[in-house]
Amino acid sequence: MDKVQQVNTTTASVTVIRPPKGWIPINLRELWAYRELLYFFTWRDIKVRYKQTVFGFAWAIIQPLFMMIIFSLFFSTLAKVPSENIPYPLFSYAAVLPWTLFAEGLTRSSNSLVQDANLLQKVYFPRLLMPISGILSPLVDFAIAFVVLIGLMLYYAYYPSVMMFLILPFLLLELLLATGIGLWLSAINVEYRDVRYAVPFLIQLGLFASPVVYPVTFVPERFQVVYGLINPMAGILEGFRWAILDTKPPSNLLIASVAIILVILISGAFYFRRREKAFADVV
Amino acid sequence: MTAMNDIAIRVENLSKLYRIGQFAGYKTIRETLTDAMIAPLRRLRRTEDRGRETGDSDPSNTIWALKDVSFEIKRGEAVGIIGRNGSGKSTLLKILSRITAPTEGYAEIHGRVGSLLEVGTGFHPELTGRENIYLNGAVLGMKKTEVERKFDEIVAFAEIEKFLETPVKRYSSGMYVRLAFSVAAYLQPEILLVDEVLAVGDAAFQKKCLGKMGDVTKTGRTVLFVSHNMAAIQSLCDVGIVLNNGKLTNKGPVGEAIYYYQDLLRHLDRSILQSIRGMKVLTIRTTPGSNMNMFTPDASLIADMDFYTEYRLTKCYMNFIIEDSEGRLLIHSRSDMLDIWPTFDPGLHSVRVEVPRLGLRSGVYSLWFRLFVDSGEVTQMADSERIMLEVSGPQAGGLVDIPCHWSWT
- Same domain? B68 vs B83: no
Q: What is the pLDDT of residue B274?
A: 57
Residue A249 lies in a domain: yes
Residue B348 lies in a domain: yes
- Same domain? B95 vs B223: yes
Residue B208 lies in a domain: yes
Q: What is the pLDDT of residue B56?
A: 45
**B347-355 β-sheet, strand order:** B276-285, B301-309, B347-355
- Same domain? B228 vs B281: no
- Same domain? B289 vs B343: yes
Q: How confident is the model at residue B336 (pLDDT cuts 50, 70, 90)?
A: confident
Residue A208 lies in a domain: yes
A278 touching chain B per CB within 8 A: yes
User: Is A123 close to B143, i.e. CB distance below 8 A?
Assistant: no
Top pLDDT among B353 and B265 is at B353
Sign of the C-alpha dihedral, residues B266, B269, B272, B275?
Answer: positive
* Chain A residues in contact with B100 (beta carbon < 8 A): 277-278, 280-281
* Distance from the B12 Cα atom to the nearest Cα atom in chain A, whole angstroms: 10
Cβ distance B93 to B115 under 8 Å? yes
Nearest to B117 among A15, A22, A122 (CB): A122
Cβ distance B322 to B359 under 8 Å? no
**What residues make up the domain containing A244?**
36-282
Q: What is the pLDDT of residue B76?
A: 87
Lowest mean pLDDT among A267-276, B244-253, B347-356, B370-379: B370-379
Cβ density class A205-217: b for 16+ within 10 Å, e for less: ebbeebbbbbbbe
Residue B301: CATH number of its domain: 2.70.50.60
| Crossing angle of helices B144-158 and B173-185, rounded to 10° | 140
- Same domain? B98 vs B240: yes
Residues B296-320, mean pLDDT to the nearest whole number: 83
Q: What is the pLDDT of residue A190?
A: 92
Nearest to B122 among A20, A123, A193 (CB): A123
Mutation to test the B interface, candidates A6, A14, A15, most B Cβ within 10 Å: A15
- Same domain? B108 vs B241: yes
Residue A98 lies in a domain: yes
Residue A6 lies in a domain: no
How many Å from the N-terminal Cα to the C-terminal Cα in chain A?
25
Q: How confident is the model at residue B4 (pLDDT cuts 50, 70, 90)?
A: low
Q: How many whole angstroms separate alpha carbon B189 and alpha carbon A14?
A: 13
Q: How confident is the model at residue A244 (pLDDT cuts 50, 70, 90)?
A: very high
Distance of CA B4 to the CA centre of its chain: 30
Q: Which amino acid is at B313?
A: L
Residue B406 lies in a domain: no
Residues A180-184, mean pLDDT to the nearest whole number: 96
Q: Which residue does chain B place closest to A117, by CA atoms?
A: B122
Lowest mean pLDDT among A69-73, A140-144, B282-286: B282-286
Residue B49 lies in a domain: yes
Strand-strand pairing, B113-116 and B191-195: parallel
Q: How many whole angstroms separate alpha carbon A138 and alpha carbon A116?
A: 18
Q: For B310, phi and psi rounded to 5 degrees?
A: -85, -25
Q: How many whole angstroms separate alpha carbon B81 and alpha carbon B239?
A: 9
Q: Which residue does chain A place closest to B132, by CA atoms?
A: A44
* Distance from the A283 Cα atom to the nearest Cα atom in chain B, whole angstroms: 7
Mutation to test the B interface, candidates A32, A36, A46, A272, most B Cβ within 10 Å: A36
Q: What is the three-class DSSP state of A7?
A: coil
Q: For B340, phi and psi rounded to 5 degrees?
A: -110, 120
Q: What is the pLDDT of residue B166?
A: 92
Q: How many whole angstroms separate alpha carbon A62 and alpha carbon A56?
A: 10
- Same domain? B39 vs B102: no
User: Is B110 close to A118, i.e. CB distance below 8 A?
Assistant: no
User: B333: which residues sit within 8 A by CB, 6+ positions away?
Assistant: B319, B320, B321, B353
Nearest 5°: CA angle at A275, between A270 and A182? 65
Return the C-alpha torsion angle A239, A244, A246, A249, nearest 10.
10
- Same domain? B58 vs B126: no
Cβ distance B134 to B107 under 8 Å? no
* Chain B residues in contact with A193 (beta carbon < 8 A): 26, 28
Q: How many whole angstroms separate alpha carbon B313 and alpha carbon B319?
A: 16
Q: How many CB pairs under 8 A join A and B?
A: 141
Residue B252 lies in a domain: yes
**C-alpha distances out from residue B101 to A215, B19, B94, B117, B390, Å:** 50, 14, 8, 16, 40
Q: How many whole angstroms separate alpha carbon B25 and alpha carbon B249?
A: 31
**Portion 108-147 of B in contact with A at CB < 8 A:** 108-115, 117-118, 121-122, 124, 126-127, 131, 134-135, 138-141, 143-144
Q: What is the pLDDT of residue B273?
A: 55
Q: How many whole angstroms separate alpha carbon B88 and alpha carbon B248?
A: 9
Q: What is the pLDDT of residue B292?
A: 59
- Same domain? B280 vs B384: yes
Residue B403 lies in a domain: no
Cβ distance B392 to B204 under 8 Å? yes
Q: ipTM of the predicted structure? A: 0.85
Q: For B125, phi and psi rounded to 5 degrees?
A: -60, -30
Residue B396 lies in a domain: no
* Chain B residues in contact with A13 (beta carbon < 8 A): 110-112
C-alpha R_g of chain A: 21
Residue B161 lies in a domain: yes
Q: Which amino acid is at B111?
A: G
**What residues make up the domain containing B179?**
74-256
Residue A267 lies in a domain: yes
Count of domains for chain B: 3
Residues B340-351, mean pLDDT to the nearest whole number: 85
Q: What is the pLDDT of residue A281?
A: 85
- Same domain? B81 vs B180: yes
Q: How confident is the model at residue B55 (pLDDT cuts 50, 70, 90)?
A: very low
Q: How confident is the model at residue A103 (pLDDT cuts 50, 70, 90)?
A: very high
* Distance from the A231 Cα atom to the nearest Cα atom in chain B, whole angstroms: 25
User: B152: which residues sit within 8 A by CB, 6+ positions away?
Assistant: none
Cβ distance B97 to B9 under 8 Å? no
Residues A35-44, mean pLDDT to the nearest whole number: 94
The pTM assigned to this predicted structure is 0.73
B219 touching chain A per CB within 8 A: no
User: Is B102 close to A3, i.e. CB distance below 8 A?
Assistant: no
User: Is A19 close to B104, i.e. CB distance below 8 A?
Assistant: yes
pLDDT surpassing 50 at residue A257: yes
Count of domains for chain A: 1
